[in-house]
Structure 1
Amino acid sequence: MTVKELREAPKLAPLYAKALLPHSGGGGLPDTEYVRAGVEFDPAHVAAYNQVCGFRLGDELPVTYPHMLAFPLQMALMTQPDFPFPLLGMVHVANRITQRRPVRLTDTGTVRVRAENLRPHEKGRQFDVISEYTTADGPIWTEVSTYLRRGGGEGGGKREQLAAPAPKAIWRVPADIGRRYAEVSGDRNPIHLHPLTAKLFGFPSAIAHGMWTKARVLAAFEGRLPDAYTVDVKFKLPVLLPAKVAFTSWQTGGGCYRGAKRLDEGRWSGGGWAFELWAAKKPKPHLEGTITPPDATPNPR
């Protein structure tokens, strides 16, 4: 494997410009790992992120925050000439994060990013981008982002549409949340920024970032999670902005199923949790996921 060591985070604006250029691509995923050492946290940036995503301020970072460190390296990797797919048009379909201990503001560590596991999908091909944050304690945070490149798949039958569950909470998602999240994350994909730019890519309006929806859901669990866990989500239909969404969650005992005991209060109890985010007015799912012990077998993709 070729290791590319970076002294600073890649600038995202030139990478987005690069993504607009014609892309020939390659046959397989590059055998390359991007590495950035000596990474520290900016308390002001963490505070801005927490505010946009609904987290409280504290010395322990939200489990989704290290994605901010990995994202520029992911962009650098996926805009290289030998990457098999152009960046624009790829769909983030799933995201799994494992935290071995809380990441703290005082930590200094190394971020590593690589791509692997290119495989067929019923709608095209998919692959994983693996990101790790490592300190003197070893790898304490790992993320697997699964991306889909549509086209060339065998298709799949229409899946059963379940009815939306009774919500525990209704959230209003403002029209500018895409721009606000882009400001703190650097993820300025045009589909998130404005209705006009989103329409160029086939969306009727701007859509919320998938990682914002995951963070917003996890903010609802704040204060009730253990130090170590895995949170695994599948992104379904996009959240068209502005929106009203319905959140629900329930405890699980070794498996995730509807009708399990709903989550009210209490901390980790040996099983786990499942959660879903739906459109509040129509039975359209936006996101589903689980929170499990860190060594539990992840949900199949």
Structure 2
Amino acid sequence: MTAPAPSAPPALGPLLARGALLSPFKRPRPGAVFSGGRLTLPRLRVDPARSAAYERVCGFPTGADALPVTYPHVLGFPLAVRIMSGRAFPLPLLGLVHTSISLTRHRSLPVTGTYELLVHVDRLAPHRRGTEAVVVTGLRQDGETVWESESTYLARHRTPGRDAGRETGRETGRETGRETGRETGQETGQDAGQEAGRVASSAAGPLPVVDEWRLGADVGRRYGSVSGDRNPIHLSPLTARLFGFPRAIAHGMWTAARCLAAHGAPDAARVHVDFRAPVLLPGTVAFAAGGGRFELRGTGGEGRVHVRGRVEPVTPAG
């Protein structure tokens, strides 16, 4: 007798544990390749209570019969981790830094809908600081793609032409903490600066500060409870210090969702977000926005940019 297809993503905990156990045996290097890794969840049903809890934690309006623009990433992330925690995937899970996400929502997504969820690793690409894995997630309804995204995850390693002497002096003693932040994009400000074509550059003018947010020490634990991503670097100062951070840091996708909740997005929208630096918890950050662009940065003077993104309307599907 054939078992019925699952209607919910797998639990993240066992997948993260498997990835952690296999990571020491993986040595990322230039020229790594990966083919395969395509997973599908054919009849996905959203848990309304969980999506409502996600709305509250991230600051989205509650009560509407529509999924927040970033919520399909939460649904697809366990499948992505299942691929990246497998033996065949050549990059260590603990060394992956989520550096960006580009997503398109083609129309409003009913909470009560039934969807097909598809996730695959599209390619491994060389990066000046290592190798990037490009993960594609799609959500279909009645055969039509209604939401899709492309996330980049960076595995840091030596690359040809890299000035090893200069880099070693700067990175020694901090590598563990920087590499373990899968969802923060920490220490990638230089990289994001070179990718300014994906996000409007600061030459367009500084964005005005719209609000300041005081973030509690429990933000990582609260987001972990609704997303399933309980990476130790987000949970407490003690567990974060084990990986080189002075305090717990916020999930990158929480910062993206919180910014988009404040900025807003049309039902049919294209969004791009670069994760540039970690947000330490507790802490205070400034939200700046204007002209379809937004930033999350430190407060006062020349605050360090943590997140930079843009929102563009698109022609609705159908």
What is the TM-score normalised by the length of structure 1?
0.83
Q: Distance in 2 between matches of 1:168 and 1:221?
A: 10
2:296 partner amino acid: L
Q: Quick check: 15-24 or 110-119, which moved more?
A: 15-24
The equivalent position to 1:226 in structure 2, one of 245, 266, 275, is 266
Q: Distance in 1 between matches of 2:308 and 2:59?
A: 19
Cα distance, 1:21–1:74 mapped onto 2, change above 3 Å: same
1:210-246 Cα distance to aligned partner (Å, 9 max, x none): 0000000011123xx3221111010011001111011
Q: Distance in 2 between matches of 1:77 and 1:112?
A: 12
- 1:78 counterpart = 2:78: no
2:72 partner amino acid: P
Cα displacement (A) at 1:9? 2.2
1:164 and 1:278 in contact (8 A); partners too: no
The equivalent position to 2:107 in structure 1, one of 93, 101, 106, is 101
**Which sections of structure 1, spanning at least 5 residues, go unmatched?**
252-272, 296-301
- 1:182 counterpart = 2:224: yes
Choose between structure 1 and 2 for higher RCO, CA contacts under 8 A separated by at least 6 residues.
2
Paired residue total: 268
1:6 and 1:35 in contact (8 A); partners too: no
Matches within 5 A, 1:84-95: 84-95=90-101
2:263 and 2:294 in contact (8 A); partners too: no
**SS of corresponding position for 1:30:** coil
Matches within 5 A, 1:72-151: 72-136=78-142, 138-151=144-157
The equivalent position to 2:312 in structure 1, one of 292, 295, 298, is 292
1:284 partner amino acid: R
Matches within 5 A, 1:33-48: 33-48=38-53
User: What is residue 209 of structure 2 aligned with on the other side?
Assistant: 167
**Identity, % of aligned pairs?**
42
1:206 partner amino acid: A
Cα displacement (A) at 1:6? 6.0
User: What is residue 58 of structure 2 aligned with on the other side?
Assistant: 53
Q: Distance in 1 between matches of 2:208 and 2:61?
A: 26
**SS of corresponding position for 1:168:** strand
What is the TM-score normalised by the length of structure 2?
0.79
Cα displacement (A) at 1:164? 7.0
Q: Distance in 1 between matches of 2:290 and 2:206?
A: 14
Question: Of Structure 1 and Structure 2, which has the larger fraction of its residues in helix?
Answer: 2
User: What is residue 299 of structure 1 aligned with on the other side?
Assistant: none
**SS of corresponding position for 1:146:** strand
**Which sections of structure 2, spanning at least 5 residues, go unmatched?**
168-189, 195-201
Q: Distance in 2 between matches of 1:290 and 1:167?
A: 15
2:271 partner amino acid: V
User: What is residue 253 of structure 2 aligned with on the other side?
Assistant: 211
